[in-house]
Amino acid sequence: MTDPTTTIETDDERSTIEVRACDSCGSPSPYEPVLMFGKDMLAHCRHLCDACEAREKEQQAEEDRKQEIADMKAKWEAIVPADYRATDIEHADFNRRVWMRIRDEAWESRSIGLVGPPGRSKTRILALVAKKMIHRHRTIGWMNTFKLEQAWRDRTDRRLGEEARKQLRVWQRCRVLFLDDLGKSAWTAPLETALFEILEHRHGEGLVTHWSLNPQPDDIDEDFSSPEVLTAALDPDGVASKRNRFAPILSRLINNTLIVPVR
């Protein structure tokens, strides 16, 4: 019977190599015990031959990859509205010209503002950028002014307040925020206060905010990189512009932002 233990001695050390059956396939493979007071501390640990260990590492890597995809899909579904998750860039109505212009940008250190009439794929383009951010494991938030005003109103409610405050913190602190459909809802003092607080925090922390805006039909061909033109588009009645919050909001929106006309 073959002795399962082979002893190798050198001038300055003594090393014991044993042959032990692989716990997966049963084939004999080298095993080096860790002895303490004459007892092998690894005796009850699982032992694998090199081939089985490599195979299990590959299987674990594949399981990790599948879990990563599932996690990204869950984030995608939880954050981005369903209709925009179904965006098909090959669809005849999709604005490929604008998407091709911006798709290769990183958009993690600079914001983008998409300005154009309804139906020109602004929100769908933002959704595609959001998907890229999720694939890069960036935390994102998706917000419009209706949701913001509702969360701001609910933050002091005894029943709804905790969830509303949690959502406000997400919008304030996420790595990349998507602010969709500016200009659709009427500007109110509470909305301006809420938006200013979020944008002010994000500006101070160097966080990126991508946004879209629906201007008035007569303004479509204007230069929206101009603060005056953007003000007129955001506040066509000129009411909000007279309040203290509006100018800082505008400043935060256009700071470090590429404004792209979407026609």
Express each pLDDT in 123-143 by its tens digit. 999 999 999 999 888 999 999
In sequence order, the β-bridge partners of residue 254 are none
**Across 156-168, average pLDDT:** 95
Express each pLDDT in 43-77 by its tens digit. 888 999 999 999 999 999 999 888 888 888 888 88
Q: Which of 208, 209, 212 is nearest to 183 (CA)?
A: 212
Taking each helix axis from N to C end, the angle separating 189-205 and 145-154, rounded to the nearest 10 degrees, works out to: 100
Report the predicted TM-score, pTM, of the whole model to 2 decimal places: 0.74
pLDDT at 255: 84
pLDDT at 2: 41
Contact in structure between 181 and 123 (CB atoms under 8 Å): yes
Express each pLDDT in 203-243 by its tens digit. 999 999 999 987 654 444 455 556 666 666 666 666 666 66
Q: Which residues contact 68 (CB under 8 A, 6 or more apart)?
A: none
Q: Which residues contact 112 (CB under 8 A, 6 or more apart)?
A: 102, 105, 129, 210, 211, 257, 258, 259, 260
Amino acid identity of residue 12, one-letter, is D
Q: Check: CATH 3.40.50.300 for 81-261?
A: yes
pLDDT at 233: 67
The DSSP secondary-structure symbol of 242 reads: G
SS3 43: coil
Alpha-carbon distance values, 59 to 23, 54, 218 (Å): 17, 9, 59
Whether residue 11 has pLDDT greater than 50: no
Tokens, residue 144: 């419009």
Contact in structure between 115 and 180 (CB atoms under 8 Å): no
In angstroms and rounded to an integer, the radius of gyration of the C-alpha atoms of the chain is 29
- d(Cα 176, Cα 210) in Å, to the nearest integer? 8
- If you average pLDDT over every residue of the chain, what do you get? 83
- d(Cα 135, Cα 84) in Å, to the nearest integer? 17
SS3 173: helix
The DSSP secondary-structure symbol of 74 reads: H
**Across 253-259, average pLDDT:** 86
* Intervals of CATH 3.40.50.300 along the chain: 81-261
